[in-house]
Copies of this chain bind each other. A is one copy, B any other.
Amino acid sequence: MKKYTQINDIKNLQELIKEAILLKMNPYEYAHLGKHKTLVMLFFNASLRTRLSTEKAARNLGMNVSILNVNDAWNIEFEDGGIMNTNSTEHIKEAAKVISQYADVIAVRAFPSLTDKAKDQSEYVLRSFEKYATVPIINMESATAHPLQALTDAITISELADKPRPKVVLSWAPHPKALPQAVANSFVEMMQMMEVDFSITHPEGYELDEAITKNTPINHKQTEALKDADFVYVKNWSNFKDYGKILNQDPNWMMTEAKLGKAKFMHCLPVRRNVVVEDAVLDGDNSLVIKQANNRTFAAQVVLKHILEGL
Interface residues of A (CB under 8 A from B): 27-28, 31, 36, 38, 40, 43, 46-49, 51-53, 55-56, 59-60, 64, 66, 68-69, 72-74, 77, 80-86, 88-91, 93-95, 97-99, 101-103, 176, 269-275, 279, 282-283, 289-290, 293-294, 297
On whether A272 and B89 interact (CB within 8 A), knowing A94-B289, A101-B293, the answer reads: yes
Partner of A49, one of B55, B88, B98, B290: B98
Nearest residue in B to A69 (C-beta to C-beta)? Answer: B72
Interface contact A52-B68, CB-CB below 8 Å: yes
On whether A273 and B77 interact (CB within 8 A), knowing A64-B59, A101-B297, A176-B85, the answer reads: yes
Nearest 9 CB-CB pairs, A to B?
A90-B270, A84-B272, A48-B73, A98-B293, A101-B294, A52-B102, A83-B274, A85-B176, A89-B270
Interface contact B93-A282, CB-CB below 8 Å: yes
Nearest residue in B to A287 (C-beta to C-beta)? Answer: B94
B-side contacts of A60, CB under 8 Å: 36
Nearest residue in B to A294 (C-beta to C-beta)? Answer: B101
Interface contact A52-B290, CB-CB below 8 Å: no
B-side contacts of A94, CB under 8 Å: 269-271, 282, 289-290, 293
Interface contact B95-A66, CB-CB below 8 Å: no
On whether A48 and B66 interact (CB within 8 A), knowing A93-B282, A273-B91, A275-B84, the answer reads: no
CA distance A81 to B40 in the complex (A): 39
B-side contacts of A97, CB under 8 Å: 290, 293
Quote the shortest CB–CB distance from A99 to chain B (angstroms). 7
B-side contacts of A270, CB under 8 Å: 74, 89-90, 94-95
Interface contact A81-B279, CB-CB below 8 Å: yes
27 contacting pairs across A/B (C-beta < 8 A): A27-B36, A38-B59, A47-B73, A48-B95, A48-B99, A51-B68, A53-B102, A55-B102, A82-B273, A83-B274, A83-B275, A84-B274, A85-B272, A86-B176, A88-B272, A89-B272, A90-B269, A91-B271, A91-B273, A91-B282, A94-B270, A97-B290, A97-B293, A98-B290, A98-B293, A98-B294, A101-B294
Interface contact B98-A73, CB-CB below 8 Å: no
Interface contact A68-B48, CB-CB below 8 Å: yes
